[in-house]
Amino acid sequence: MNISIEKSYITTLNVLKEKIKTAQIKASMSVNSEMIRLYWEIGKTIVENQNKQGWGAKVAERLSRDLQKEFPGVKGFSHTNLKYMKTFFEAYQKDTIGPQVVGQLPWSHNRILLDKVGSYGERLWYAQQTIENGWSRGILVVQIESDLYHRQASKTKITNFKKTLPALQSDLAEQIIKDPYKLDFLTVYGKAKEKDIENELVKHITKFLLELGAGFAFIGQQYHLEIGDEDYYIDLLFYHLKLRCYVVLELKAVKFKPEYAGKLNFYLSAVDDILRHETDNPTIGILLCKSKDKVIAEYALKDISKPMGISEYKITQSIPKNLKTSLPSIEDIEKELSK
């Protein structure tokens, strides 16, 4: 290392020591946000010195060793983590005063966002959703891998919320609808019947509620309504805590047909009349179909007076148990590849 780089390195190391000590003092007031801010500052320092002083990988490794030596009781200064700090700064360097939304997340969540999400705007969206919904690392990974960002913003979902609900409620209602809904946790095969899918959804209700999103509370399956002299049964009934309304979900294991919207409209009217409290907002309907024609779905909702959305669901077929025994194991495949 030449004299110029050595001098800049020693100066930088001392500056970082002071920043770390300052952050440690403030940590008692705001542990996480100060740590994230510190990591952003360290990443910024590394990037600036790489650009101006020609720092290479060996200098970063030395920095890691020296910081760990200076702060032996502090975790987070490994060479790998310093590389994440550099990436973290590069990802949010447009935030000139430091990352704001992601600064509220634990560092482990931020590493997941850096590893799995490439877009700046998309990372901020997942960060905001994590804060609002209290997602753990595992749930965050599931939501990213299921492409929740694009499914929730999908232009293929069909709703009439803007025409049937007040502005604030319609905006929130739009956010709870996805297209498609991914029901990968179901264990149904071939041309599964609606009843089979419905039973599986209830069997895996925790996972289904996660896919539906925050705020849904499960009321019942085949919820009975007595209307006139006849009995009717809603496939799945929920209550949404944020929207403060009932949500009727009807499931169709076939392509969407216009008459399905009429039947759902009938159920929404009945729930509003029979179950809805005076403090509740209008009941919302969700129609889940195996597939849909966008134009037909739009026409079907054009003159419907009740708020509803139409979406598709997707089931990723897993391998049936009776076939698994005839397939080679991972170990067998690895042995063949090694040959």
Q: Which of 215, 267, 264 is nearest to 238 (CA)?
A: 215
Joined tokens for residue 272: 């509003």
Joined tokens for residue 134: 């209290």
Q: pLDDT value at position 326?
A: 47
Task: Categorize the per-residue pLDDT at 190 as very low, low, confident or very high, splitting at 50, 70 and 90.
Answer: low
For the whole model, what pTM was predicted?
0.73
How does DSSP assign 192-251, residue by residue? --HHHHHHHHHHTHHHHHHHH-TTEEEEEEEEEEEETTEEEEEEEEEEETTTTEEEEEEE
Was domain 151-314 assigned CATH 3.50.50.60?
A: no
Instruction: Evaluate if residue 4 carries a pLDDT over 80.
Output: no
Q: pLDDT value at position 292?
A: 94
Q: Which helix (H) or strand (E) holds 85?
A: helix 79-92
Q: pLDDT value at position 158?
A: 94
Chain Cα centroid distance, residue 308: 23
Q: pLDDT value at position 126?
A: 95
Chain Cα centroid distance, residue 62: 37
Q: pLDDT value at position 225?
A: 95
Task: Categorize the per-residue pLDDT at 193 as very low, low, confident or very high, splitting at 50, 70 and 90.
Answer: confident
Task: Categorize the per-residue pLDDT at 30 as very low, low, confident or very high, splitting at 50, 70 and 90.
Answer: low
Per residue in 107-166, pLDDT tens? 999 999 999 999 999 999 999 998 888 888 999 999 999 999 999 888 888 999 999 999
Where in the chain are the domains?
3-148, 151-314
Per residue in 243-262, pLDDT tens? 999 999 999 999 999 999 99
* Structural Rg of the chain based on CA atoms: 27
How far apart CA 205 and CA 14 sit, in angstroms, is 54
Give the largest CA-CA distance in the chain.
94
Segment 290-297 shows an average pLDDT of 94
Instruction: Evaluate if residue 198 carries a pLDDT over 50.
Output: yes
Q: Reduced to 3 DSSP states, what percent helix, strand and coil does the chain have, rounded to the nearest 5?
A: 55, 15, 30
Per residue in 50-108, pLDDT tens? 888 888 878 888 999 999 999 988 888 999 999 999 999 999 988 765 578 888 888 99
Direct distance between the N- and C-terminal alpha carbons of the chain, in angstroms, rounded to an integer: 45
Q: pLDDT value at position 96?
A: 62
Joined tokens for residue 199: 């039973």
Segment 182-203 shows an average pLDDT of 83
